[in-house]
Copies of this chain bind each other. A is one copy, B any other.
Amino acid sequence: MADAVKTRLAELGLTLPVSAAPVANYVPFHVVDGWVYTSGQLPMTDKGLSCTGRLGADVDVATGVEAAKLAALQVIAKLNDATEGNLDRIEKIVRVDVFVASAIDFFDQPTIGNGASDLFVAAFGDAGRHTRNAVGVAVLPRNAPVEVAVIAKLKA
């Protein structure tokens, strides 16, 4: 039976992707004392990265926003694993880190970050409203345009 989060995702035409495996020696998530930490997620699809390159150079804003959304969808897949398939157990998405691979004259990381943030809010409602760091880094693993990680709290 779908939880409310998956129902909302379905209404948006989205399904959880096959959870991407870590690309190195780390784990996709940890649950400790009711806190969930996810590793940084890239915009992986079943065909690999949705795009590569940097904002302001190789990747335009619309493509970057979509990439951030796909990275956030990978985060939600990890949260789904962390909650054993019941995303309604998420009390709050507390912190979202958004790293945007950026040319030095690209200043619109907030818009790119909203690709992730808007999905969290659409999927989780109030529980998806979060604090955020969004910064423009030089380059990301595999030349990905964006990486997104989350700290969330489970219901007691």
Q: Which of B30, B121, B140 contacts A135 (CB 8 A)?
A: B140
Q: Are A30 and B105 in contact (CB under 8 A)?
A: no
The 0/1 profile, CB within 8 Å of B marked 1, for residues 112-134 of chain A is 01100110010000000111111
Q: How far is the CA of A39 from the CA of B151 in the complex (A)?
A: 13
Residue A1 CB within 8 A of the other chain? no
Q: Are A138 and B141 in contact (CB under 8 A)?
A: no
Q: How many copies does the complex hold?
A: 3
Where chain A touches its partner, the secondary structure class is mixed
- For A25, A30, A33, which residue has the most chain B Cβ atoms within 10 angstroms? A25
Q: Which of B38, B40, B118, B133 contacts A39 (CB 8 A)?
A: B133
Q: Are B138 and A138 in contact (CB under 8 A)?
A: yes
Chain B residues whose C-beta falls within 8 Å of the C-beta of A17 in the assembled complex: none
Q: Are A26 and B131 in contact (CB under 8 A)?
A: yes
